Structures are given as C-alpha cells and as structure tokens.
C-alpha cells in the first residue's frame, strides 16, 4: 500500500505491507513554495496580514517525486502496490473550475491571491467567521452546537465568504470550492469525490446537509447558492474506494493504472487508524506544527469550543470529536527563530544540537515553576475551546533574570495546559477520555512529552511510526483495496503503538496544578471577555499594516 501525508511544508509518502503495516520505504518532498505568507511567487505586493496560501502544483510534485522515491527505497516492484490513500491538512481549500483546474493555474488569475489554496492556518477570515457565528446564533441554527457554538476562521465557509467579499470575480469563477484532500484524490482518480470528514468538520455538513440557502443569503445575497453551486456532491465514507488510478497519475507516481484510490481524509483523522485509537474514549493528540485532538464516542454531546462532532467523521459508526490547538510546534519554532541569543546558537552548533534540543537540555532539570512564568499558547490564535483567531500569545512573569530556556519551557508548558483545558472540557461535557495516545513530530522530544505527561497527570501511549498520518492513509488504502474489511480491523493489523511511552511524575504533576490554575485564570481573563486587550492590539496592528500597504 502507498500512503501520502500532505503536511504544512512537505508531503511524505510511505510504502507499507497490507498484512501487518511493516514499513518498507518512504520519501519526503518539501513544497517548493512552502507557505506563501508575504508575497505571491514572483510578485512584490505584500499579502494581507494572517494570509497563508499554497501553490497547487507543489502538491502534484509530491506525487511525481516522493511516491517514486518511496517505491525505490522500499525496493518492491510497482505492480505489487494495490492501493493508494492520502491525507491532507485541513481546512486547506481551493477554488477550481468544473474540471478541477485550480484557479491559481489560470493565467489571468495567477496574480490574484484569492485564486490560491488557502492553507488551514490562513486566519485572515476571522471577520467572516464572526459574521457566520453571530448570524447562526441569532437564527438558532441547529448545527452551531455541533461546533462548540462557534465557527472557525479556518473553515470552508469563512474562507469562501472572504473571497466573495474581497475578490468577487475570483468567487464567481470558482465553479468548485474543494478541500485539498478531495482535490488531490481528484488528481489521482480523475473525478470529484467529497469525504465525510472534511465535509463535516470543515464544511458544516451535518445530518446530510450544508447550511441552508436562507442562512447563506442572509450572510451575503450572492452567497445564497454557495453550497448548492460550489460544494454539493455525494458524500463518501472513509475507507471507501474513490476510484481507480488514472493513466496520468500512474505516469506521475510510477504505480499501476487502475489500483484503488481511497477517499481523502484529514491528516489527524488518518492518524487515528495508525494509532489504533478507533474505539470510544481513546483520545489521539497529533502533535506537530499544530495539535489535533480526536476522540470517538457512541453518543452525541455538545461540547463548548469543540471543532466539531461529526457522525462517521473519524470511524464509520461512531461520533467523532475533534478539538485542536492552532499553534504548538509552530510556537516553539517561532521562539527558536526569534528568542535565541548568538552565544546559544554558537553552543548549539558546537554541540551539534538544534536550537530546540539546546533549549530543552538547558530547561530540562529546572524545578517546575522555578521560572515564575506562565504563557498563553495563542500565537496562532485559539482553535479550542475559545475558537478565536483574534487572540494572540502572552507571557506573564518575565523578570530581568528570565533566561531564554525558561521562556521556551513556559511556551511548551502553555501548550500542555491548552491540551489539558481541551481534555477537561470534553470530560465535563459528556465525552469521556479514557486514555491518550500521542503522535506527530513532537513525540520525538522526550522533553516536550515529559511535560505533557506531568501536566495531564496520565501515562501517554505513542504511535510507533515516524509517519503516523501516512501510515493511516495507507491503512485507509488497504480498506479501499479490499485487503481488510473495516478501518478498525485494518488498524489492529497495521497500526503501531507503544503503550505507556511517557509516564507522569506525581511530584511534578502536583506542582503543575498550581501553574495550571494561573494559566486558567489568564486564559479566562484574556479569552472570555474580561479584557479585550488582545483584540484591540490585533485591530491596531491590522489598521497600521493596512495603512502602510
């Protein structure tokens, strides 16, 4: 099986054995244009603040490069591959023509930012998200509670409404508005499909329908037919066969024409299969640039700030809940870029360490609370439980004695407190969390994972694969190809987990409770209305930058 994980900066392909998930080969291809945040490729005009775009052909390059390379490293003949599955960041969404051509690839639209895919962390649609939430509340829309009472700026409707309001011509030319997860499947099998997961979590598709025409018309008269014209399509279940690999995609990838292409999926959701967190109450935290928290339940509950409760959204037959933190590894990376003095950088180079590793080594032995700091992990906004991308990061307790590694540690702790807030909110509102499994790039850091185990006061299981999402995509491919009857059965056969990989220390866990109380106080003060300071700062920044463009 081949699984491909389309991440924020790169795409990774793995080749695995369908019987037991044995990893045979892999390859990574970094997107040439990465995340487009400042100017469009080859242009000089500054993009608006909080813009995050991508270039569609970078995704195809992963098919052309990473897949053949993974096959070569696996050393297996191409004809032995019987299925291919993909997962993608989400909501990463793009406008296309009726045949799936991205508008960004039409010569007359190539210079228009709104013609490009909007990456999940494009947060410039916060005003539109607020408009959607406010109207949904006023009208008592039944679907709003499934999203914890707020619609995120990251999702399909907010991003599309932004296009309509800011570049109506691009909006009109978009015959389809499609998740990249479904678009890449279209590239592979030659026809459009829509997976239930992105439709449900990112596209407000509940109980078989999108928000109705009256609601959309009240947002903007020209938005009335958005769902009917640009989204509507039969919804496919996870693990289904989307189609057969086309001759064109076979030529790109080196794989046999006609093999099963699985329905697309969200990266974190595919990982649930690799992590074997497919039964109710088993939470998965996929920790990388951002963190996604997923848990299944047999029943529907309304959880404040949940990114979504979707029937069949993670595993067919169960209610899947998703929460998340928009910035985690991204926040640590920001600090390594901006907060590391020259002598630290020299020491890291001399010891052959990354900045992360040096800061972690220096901070690791500090007693909990010894830095006197608590931070709020909102450098990329808050996806759960406040659902507000107008919020920003905070560090409290700085003194003239504060050292860089202490700030770094406080930032890691802040993200762990953010996860604890999500877990407690689930449990308080009828979604039990029996155990937690971690996956993603951050699992490789014992420093980060130790803090999480202490803050969460639980042992953490970990996926035993460096390529959890891609393995999950391959598991979905195995089901689509008929090698296993269900995702659950395929997960048991092909998934990889280390139980109790990280365990809490009771003394440190107790000490963290005191810091967590401060975190919660600051969280509620800045995030729940007592102080509007962070929103005002954002407005001042945006007005200033807008004036200078």
Ligand X SMILES: O=C(CO)[C@@H](O)[C@@H](O)COP(=O)(O)O
- List residues binding ligand ADP (CB under 6 A): 7-9, 288-289, 329-330, 332-333, 356-357, 440-442, 445, 448
Task: For Cα atoms 338, 59, 14, give the angle at the middle one, nearest 5 degrees.
Answer: 90
Q: Judged by CB under 6 A, does residue 203 bind ligand X?
A: no
Residue 324 binding target from ligand X, ligand ADP, none, CB below 5 to 8 Å by type: ligand X
Cβ 548 to ligand ADP shortest distance, Å: 29
Q: Judged by CB under 6 A, does residue 249 bind ligand X?
A: no
322 beta partners: 294, 308
* Spatial distance between the Cα atoms of 45 and 160, rounded to a whole number of angstroms: 22
Q: Strand 23-30 to strand 83-88: parallel, antiparallel, or no bridges (unpaired)?
A: unpaired
* Interactions with ligand X, residue window 72-91 (CB under 6 A): 89-90
Q: Nearest residue to ligand ADP, using CB?
A: 288
* Spatial distance between the Cα atoms of 396 and 485, rounded to a whole number of angstroms: 52
User: DSSP letters along 343-365, please?
Assistant: HHHHHHHHHT--HHHHHHHHHTT
Residue 465 binding target from ligand X, ligand ADP, none, CB below 5 to 8 Å by type: none
Alpha carbon separation from 221 to 114, 305, 495 (Å, rounded): 20, 29, 48
* Spatial distance between the Cα atoms of 348 and 418, rounded to a whole number of angstroms: 29
**Among residues 17 and 202, whose Cβ is nearest to ligand X?**
202
Residue located via tokens 């850091």: 445
Task: Count H helices and E strands in the chain, helices first.
Answer: 20, 19
Cβ 488 to ligand ADP shortest distance, Å: 25
**Among residues 446 and 482, whose Cβ is nearest to ligand ADP?**
446
**Among residues 132 and 285, whose Cβ is nearest to ligand ADP?**
285
Crossing angle for the helix pair 446-456 and 506-527, nearest 10 degrees? 80
Residue located via tokens 């504060």: 402
Residue 357 binding target from ligand X, ligand ADP, none, CB below 5 to 8 Å by type: ligand ADP
Residue 65 binding target from ligand ADP, ligand X, none, CB below 5 to 8 Å by type: none
Q: Strand 93-96 to strand 176-179: parallel, antiparallel, or no bridges (unpaired)?
A: antiparallel
* Interactions with ligand X, residue window 306-335 (CB under 6 A): 322, 324
Write the Ramachandran bin of 92: left for phi over 0, alpha for psi from -120 to 50, otherwise beta: beta
Cβ 61 to ligand ADP shortest distance, Å: 17
Where are the extended beta strands (E) located within 169-307?
176-179, 194-195, 235-236, 241-244, 260-262, 282-287, 291-297
Cβ 79 to ligand ADP shortest distance, Å: 31
Q: Judged by CB under 6 A, does residue 288 bind ligand X?
A: yes
Q: Judged by CB under 6 A, does residue 8 bind ligand X?
A: yes
Cβ 363 to ligand ADP shortest distance, Å: 11
**Among residues 417 and 526, whose Cβ is nearest to ligand ADP?**
417
Q: Strand 374-376 to strand 83-88: parallel, antiparallel, or no bridges (unpaired)?
A: unpaired
**Among residues 183 and 512, whose Cβ is nearest to ligand X?**
183
Residue 448 binding target from ligand ADP, ligand X, none, CB below 5 to 8 Å by type: ligand ADP
Q: Strand 374-376 to strand 394-396: parallel, antiparallel, or no bridges (unpaired)?
A: antiparallel
Residue 120 binding target from ligand X, ligand ADP, none, CB below 5 to 8 Å by type: ligand X
Q: Judged by CB under 6 A, does residue 11 bind ligand X?
A: no
* Interactions with ligand X, residue window 110-169 (CB under 6 A): 120
Chain positions contacting ligand X, by CB under 6 A: 7-8, 89-90, 120, 266-268, 288-290, 292, 322, 324
């Amino acid at each position: 099986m081949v699984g491909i994980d389309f991440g924020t900066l790169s795409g990774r392909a793995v080749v695995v054995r369908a019987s037991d998930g044995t990893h045979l080969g892999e390859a990574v291809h970094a997107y040439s244009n990465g995340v487009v945040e400042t100017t469009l490729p080859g242009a000089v005009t500054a993009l608006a603040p909080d813009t995050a775009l991508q270039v569609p052909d970078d995704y195809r390059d992963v098919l052309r490069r990473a897949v053949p390379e993974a096959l070569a490293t696996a050393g297996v003949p191409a004809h032995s591959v019987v299925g291919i599955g993909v997962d993608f960041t989400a909501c990463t969404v793009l406008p296309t023509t009726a045949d799936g051509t991205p508008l960004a690839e039409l010569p007359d639209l190539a210079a228009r930012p709104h013609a490009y895919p909007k990456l999940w962390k494009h947060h410039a649609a916060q005003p539109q998200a607020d408009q959607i939430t406010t109207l949904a509340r006023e009208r008592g829309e039944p679907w709003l509670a499934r999203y914890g009472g707020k619609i995120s700026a990251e999702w399909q409707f907010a991003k599309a409404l932004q296009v309509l309001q800011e570049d109506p011509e691009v909006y009109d030319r978009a015959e389809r508005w499609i998740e990249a997860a479904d678009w890449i499947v279209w590239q592979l099998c030659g026809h459009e499909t829509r997976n239930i997961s992105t439709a449900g979590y990112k596209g407000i598709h509940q109980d078989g329908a999108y928000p109705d025409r009256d609601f959309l018309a009240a947002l903007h008269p020209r938005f009335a037919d958005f769902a009917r014209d640009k989204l509507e399509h039969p919804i496919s279940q996870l693990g289904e066969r989307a189609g057969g690999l086309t001759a064109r995609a076979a030529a790109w990838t080196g794989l046999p024409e006609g093999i099963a292409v699985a329905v697309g999926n969200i990266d974190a959701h595919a990982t649930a299969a690799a992590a074997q967190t497919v039964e109710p109450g088993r939470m998965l935290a996929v920790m990388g640039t951002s963190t996604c928290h997923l848990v299944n339940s047999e029943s529907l509950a309304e959880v404040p700030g949940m990114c979504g409760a979707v029937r069949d959204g993670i595993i067919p037959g169960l209610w899947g809940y998703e929460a998340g933190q928009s910035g985690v590894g991204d926040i640590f990376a920001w600090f390594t870029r901006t907060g590391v003095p020259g002598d630290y950088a020299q020491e890291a180079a001399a010891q052959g360490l990354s900045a992360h590793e040096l800061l972690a080594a220096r901070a690791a032995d500090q007693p909990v609370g010894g830095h006197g700091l608590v931070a709020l992990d909102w450098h990329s906004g808050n996806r759960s439980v406040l659902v507000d991308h107008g919020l920003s990061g905070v560090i409290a307790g700085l003194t003239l004695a504060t050292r860089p590694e202490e700030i770094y540690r406080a930032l890691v702790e802040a993200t762990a407190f953010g996860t604890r807030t999500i877990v407690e909110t689930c449990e308080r509102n009828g979604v039990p969390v029996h155990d937690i499994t971690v996956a993603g790039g951050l699992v490789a850091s014992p420093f980060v994972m130790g803090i999480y185990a202490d803050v969460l006061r639980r042992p953490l299981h970990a996926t035993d694969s460096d390529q959890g999402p891609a393995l999950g995509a391959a598991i979905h491919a195995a089901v689509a190809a008929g090698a296993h009857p269900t995702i659950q059965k395929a997960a048991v056969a092909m998934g990889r987990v280390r139980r109790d990989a990280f365990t809490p220390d009771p003394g440190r866990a107790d000490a963290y409770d005191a810091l967590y109380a401060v975190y919660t106080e600051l969280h509620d003060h800045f995030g729940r209305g007592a102080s509007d300071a962070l929103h005002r700062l954002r407005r001042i920044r945006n007005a200033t930058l807008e004036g200078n463009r």
